[in-house]
Amino acid sequence: MFQRCLATGTSLFFCDLPKALGAQMHRNGGFTLIELLIVVAIIGIIAAIAIPGLVRARESGNEASAIGSVRAISAGQTAFAATCGGGGYAASLNALATPPPGGVAFVSPDLAGGTKSGYTHAVTGSGNVVLAAALTCNTTADSMSTYLGTATPIAVGSTGHRSFGVDQRGTIYQDYTGAVLVSPLATAGTVTVLQ
């Protein structure tokens, strides 16, 4: 029965059974179901390996963006205090995002909405009123003696793991649990200074 395969030196494993039996078959050049299932399985394995790495990369990118945003808030507050607030700091993110007449805002417009790259950004002023809102250059809010700027992940573990904060001292702090940082910022528990 398999004499044709054996006569041509072809292994029985590679021998085409219908030809060996003398049957005539036309073969379309398509893929078999088994071949397609193997390809789908390989793609599934590659995706299972790659997706966690992509998620970690996205979280790292979001955290880097949040650190940059907190630095921008600190720089904006320094500029506000020097030029607009009479030595006091903006009491809100809105006050930093509002430009003075004929000038530019103290933070970029992408921070003005409060949400950027998977993080929620906020600024709260506290302490004593240094300059009344009507006397500041953008007349948006009172300037205050202290402030707290924060960046908190929208979904801890999904958009980021750490939260960040800065105050009038300009030092950036981080909390490894992703909890909202509160004033006064200090190293304790899971809160550390960002290196």
Per-residue pLDDT tens digits for 68-86: 999 999 999 999 999 999 9
As a whole number of angstroms, the distance between CA 160 and CA 62 comes to 6
- Tell which wins on pLDDT, 29 or 133: 133
- Tell which wins on pLDDT, 151 or 4: 151
As a whole number of angstroms, the distance between CA 167 and CA 191 comes to 14
Cis omega (within 30 of 0) on the bond before 184?
Answer: yes
DSSP, collapsed to helix, strand or coil, labels residue 144 as strand
pLDDT at 38 over 50: yes
* Look-up of token digits 């970029």: 108
Burial status of residue 108 (CB atoms within 10 A of its CB: 0-12, 13-18, 19 or more): middle
pLDDT at 13 over 60: no
Going from the C-alpha of 48 to that of each of 57, 98, 113, the distances in angstroms are 15, 46, 35
Task: State the average pLDDT over residues 35-64.
Answer: 93
Coarse DSSP helix, strand, coil percentages of the chain, rounded to the nearest 5 percent: 35, 25, 40
Cα separation of the two ends of the chain: 77
As a whole number of angstroms, the distance between CA 99 and CA 26 comes to 76
Predicted confidence at residue 98, as pLDDT, reads 93
Q: Percent of the chain scored above 70 by pLDDT?
A: 86
Q: pLDDT grade, residue 1 (50/70/90)?
A: very low
pLDDT at 47 over 50: yes
pLDDT at 25 over 70: no
Q: pLDDT grade, residue 63 (50/70/90)?
A: very high
Q: pLDDT grade, residue 119 (50/70/90)?
A: very high
33-193 CATH: 3.30.700
Report residue 46 as tokens: 């590659």
Q: Mean pLDDT of all residues in the chain?
A: 88
pLDDT at 161 over 80: yes
